[in-house]
Structure 1
Amino acid sequence: MVSPPHEAMHRIFQHDPGLFSRVSRFLGVDIPTPVKATALPTDLTETNPVERRVDTLLRLETADRGPFLLAVEAQGKKHPDKPASWAYYTAYLWTKYRLPTALLVVCQDHATARWAQQPVSCGPPQLPTLTVQPLVAGPHNMPVITDPEEARADLVLASLAAITHAAEPDVGAILKALSTALRDAPEDIAKPLIEFTAQGLAKRPAKNLWRNLVAVDLSFYKSYLAEEVRKEVRDEVRDEVRKEVQDEVRKEVQDEALTQGEARRAAADVLAVLAERGLTVSEAVRERIGSCDDPEILSRWLRRAVTASTAEEVVAGA
């Protein structure tokens, strides 16, 4: 079954074909920026009933090196049959289009990347005949982009960096830089990158962090992802946490003005995010959050709650 990370790792190159030339410098090659790119059919099936389909296929044209084909394969784990499939893809495409054919494999873990980089020959050792050695992009060579300005300079590359580092310790900082950079991006640019990143993270722990960042840092943004996280926070977590908070503060806020009601809801949101992240909240911290009636302070605490290591960090220094 095709998984969301699988789709994100190759479809991002369909979204921005020029991404390959920018990625290539991290792979030890220099591919000029294409002046034209065309998405080609991915079905490589012949007249026999065996279906073969490459993930993404692009025809790229450069100013000084002429056109070439780029086949992009997303690889989630080692598979002994894949090198033979890749050999078929490249040979078939070369034969069909009579164009130089490059193969890029995108991975999310070091072991798969090392495996994919190994050259594989279809002939015996003394007669290699056809050798396949794809370019591989993964956590071992994709940049760790933790500076919002660097992310803003190339949002698509920053999204790919987040996807390929989905299981790495730095993924939180990468996602924070990306969400910060996307604040200023037009919706038509931000929307597909938000969704690509969410797909690429799939069920990994970083997916929850990204969903929270979208809900807080990109609160202006309306999409299924943003609405989903807000709905989950309210429906799955907030009922239990909010009831506890409301029980504690109801006596003080029952007859208060609308601003105090907003503060109560904001306090519940802060506690809900902390609960969603699995952080321990002491009674002292819970009391401080629940008793705060300043919407500005609560808004600041809500942003901190997304990335703070402890609940105490959220309320430190007000």
Structure 2
Amino acid sequence: MVSSSHEALHRIFQQEPGLFARAARHLGVAFPPPLSASELSTDLTETRPLERRVDTLLRMETEDGSFVLAVESQSAPSADKPASWAYYLSHVYAKYGIPPVLLVVCPDRKTAAWAAQQFDIGPRQWPSLTLRPLVLGPNDVPVIDSPDEAARDIPLTILSAALHRCEPEADAILNALAKALKSLSADDETTAGTFIELTEQGLGTSRAADLWRHLMAVDLSFFQSQTAQKLRQEGREEGREEGREEGREEGRAEGQANALLLLLRHRGVEVTDGDRERIESCDDLDVLDLWLTRAIAATSMAEVFAPAGETSGTAD
């Protein structure tokens, strides 16, 4: 039951709104006296359904205790977001009684710098609520371009690839990640497939996404992900245009040839008309697979076409 003393302690400000500014001076905070004041409804109950969803919410148990981690993916600055984030944290704390932490993951430096600022909610004299997100952006996650380092922490490497997807280092990260995932897939194909799909999603529509798809085409048999299915389908469709009646094997060879030419184009390797004719006329799948493997790191067609045993400068 609400006591009369409880009522008096807040109703006095209804009676005399200017009292707030005068009393606050004793706290060392200078609010200007109000020019006017109007009462609002004290009922803060939602009168209609209002959907509010955080991207990911995790209860974390640690040696130091528990906390709730709210993860938000933010692609651009938004003036409305700080209020939504404050709502999320307040609601989570009220619902679970566990300290919340907000992590904002940003794919570009401008958005990361915006999200990393301290958001003060309230008048400048005394912000009642301060929002301090933890932010991960391209400057905060290292470039992982070593296969050994990638194998030690594949999820972190996936995050590195996603956050550096529009930068020159993306190719090296993806090459390292592909090698790490190939070794993992021998033991756990399901986990490898999940990581491959997460990588593809994280790269979005960037140029790096095209490279990733063609890296996965080097050995289509080592995983059964959606990416592999797309590459197979593309190869079949392109091969069928000229070789449908000549059988499945020829269609597959033409698909591999098309994938090789696309990879070379995306990597900026110069391909002459003679090189193109040699690739398109090849019907030996083993040879095409070898050329495709070499094309991952090759800087010239001489490296791609090098005789057996001469693989300097190409992928392992």
Go from structure 1 to structure 2 and tell me whether the alpha carbon gap of 1:306 and 1:234 turns closer, same or farther (over 3 Å shift).
Answer: farther
Is 1:50 the counterpart of 2:50? The answer is yes
Would you say the 8 A contact 2:171–2:211 is kept in 1? yes
Is 1:169 the counterpart of 2:168? The answer is yes
Is 1:273 the counterpart of 2:260? The answer is yes
Equivalent residue number for residue 71 of structure 1 = 70
Is 1:221 the counterpart of 2:223? The answer is yes
- Cα deviation, 1:80-135, whole Å, max 9, x if unaligned, reads 11111111111221122111110000111111111110111111222121111211
Q: CA deviation at 1:264?
A: 9.7
Equivalent residue number for residue 4 of structure 1 = none
SS in structure 2 at match of 1:104: strand
Equivalent residue number for residue 199 of structure 1 = 201
Cα distance in 2 for residues equivalent to 1:85 and 1:188? 36
User: Partner amino acid for 1:167?
Assistant: C
Q: CA deviation at 1:142?
A: 0.7
Go from structure 1 to structure 2 and tell me whether the alpha carbon gap of 1:294 and 1:225 turns closer, same or farther (over 3 Å shift).
Answer: closer
Cα distance in 2 for residues equivalent to 1:66 and 1:109? 33
Cα distance in 2 for residues equivalent to 1:46 and 1:165? 41
Q: CA deviation at 1:239?
A: 5.4
Equivalent residue number for residue 248 of structure 1 = none
Would you say the 8 A contact 1:110–1:140 is kept in 2? yes
Go from structure 1 to structure 2 and tell me whether the alpha carbon gap of 1:50 and 1:277 turns closer, same or farther (over 3 Å shift).
Answer: farther
Cα distance in 2 for residues equivalent to 1:148 and 1:46? 52
Would you say the 8 A contact 1:75–1:112 is kept in 2? yes
User: Partner amino acid for 1:109?
Assistant: D
Equivalent residue number for residue 294 of structure 2 = 304
Structure 1: runs of 5 or more not aligned? 1-44, 244-253, 255-260
SS in structure 2 at match of 1:108: coil
Equivalent residue number for residue 137 of structure 2 = 138
- Cα deviation, 1:11-64, whole Å, max 9, x if unaligned, reads xxxxxxxxxxxxxxxxxxxxxxxxxxxxxxxxxx9664222111100000012x
- Cα deviation, 1:260-281, whole Å, max 9, x if unaligned, reads x979964762454223653542
Count the aligned residue pairs.
Answer: 257
Equivalent residue number for residue 88 of structure 2 = 89
Equivalent residue number for residue 286 of structure 1 = 276
| Superposed CA RMSD | 2.9
Go from structure 1 to structure 2 and tell me whether the alpha carbon gap of 1:132 and 1:310 turns closer, same or farther (over 3 Å shift).
Answer: farther
Cα distance in 1 for residues equivalent to 2:220 and 2:120? 48
Go from structure 1 to structure 2 and tell me whether the alpha carbon gap of 1:130 and 1:267 turns closer, same or farther (over 3 Å shift).
Answer: same
Q: CA deviation at 1:212?
A: 1.1
Is 1:183 the counterpart of 2:173? The answer is no
Would you say the 8 A contact 2:214–2:259 is kept in 1? no
SS in structure 2 at match of 1:118: coil
- Cα deviation, 1:165-221, whole Å, max 9, x if unaligned, reads 221211111111111001121112211111111111121111111111112145321
Cα distance in 1 for residues equivalent to 2:157 and 2:72? 19
Cα distance in 1 for residues equivalent to 2:196 and 2:96? 34
Cα distance in 1 for residues equivalent to 2:257 and 2:56? 42
Equivalent residue number for residue 22 of structure 2 = none
TM-score, with structure 1 as normaliser: 0.71
Q: CA deviation at 1:161?
A: 1.4
Cα distance in 1 for residues equivalent to 2:98 and 2:274? 68
Greater C-alpha radius of gyration? 2
Go from structure 1 to structure 2 and tell me whether the alpha carbon gap of 1:239 and 1:263 turns closer, same or farther (over 3 Å shift).
Answer: closer
Structural mapping, 1:78-117, within 5 Å = 78-117=77-116
